Amino acid sequence: REIVLDKQGKIDKGAIYKQYGSTLLGVMITRTFLFAFQLGDGDIMYVDVDGVKSVIEGDKILGTETHSLSKQDSWKSAITVVLNKDEGEKVPYMYMLSSDGMSNSFTSQDEFYKTCRDYYDLIKAHGCKTIARYIKEWLSETSALGCGDDITVMIGYYEEAL
């Protein structure tokens, strides 16, 4: 990225910060519904025994360009969804929220979905504490072997219905 200078020849920090984005993802999960919101890139995924699906389809402007918290009036570009929860929802299930560094580190959407399923299977087999012990290392490796961007992940794993 370009170093921007102001009229006095000093680094224009405000202009530099505008070159970078920030993502905001969230979910509120109740017994009867799910509320999810997204501003910027990132993924909110639902995983159960039947497979993986995206909760929100994010806005892509051009390539990796996206709406961002760093922009004026960014809230106008937020995407929200409210979904009814199925009373017969299969357990266990998992919600995985991740910054775009995660999905961008894979060569295809299928590979990203496979990794979401892998996390689900690992938690199911070994428990959350075991995964928590290793996830920082795994995410660093994913980034290093992938796009090189930072990765933030939040996983909610439910073994029983709410």
Domain count, the chain: 1
Q: Does some domain include residue 97? A: yes
Residue 87 φ then ψ, to 5°: -60, -30
Residue spans of beta strands (DSSP E) within the chain: 24-29, 33-39, 43-48, 51-54, 79-84, 93-98, 153-158
37-64: per-residue pLDDT in tens? Answer: 998 889 999 999 999 999 998 655 445 5
pTM of the model: 0.81
50-109: per-residue pLDDT in tens? Answer: 999 999 986 554 455 555 666 677 777 788 999 998 877 778 999 999 998 999 999 999
Domain extent, residue 62, equals 13-158
Q: Does some domain include residue 145? A: yes
Q: Does some domain include residue 8? A: no
> What is the Rg, in whole angstroms, of the alpha carbon atoms belonging to the chain?
18
CATH number for the domain spanning 29: value is: 3.60.40.10
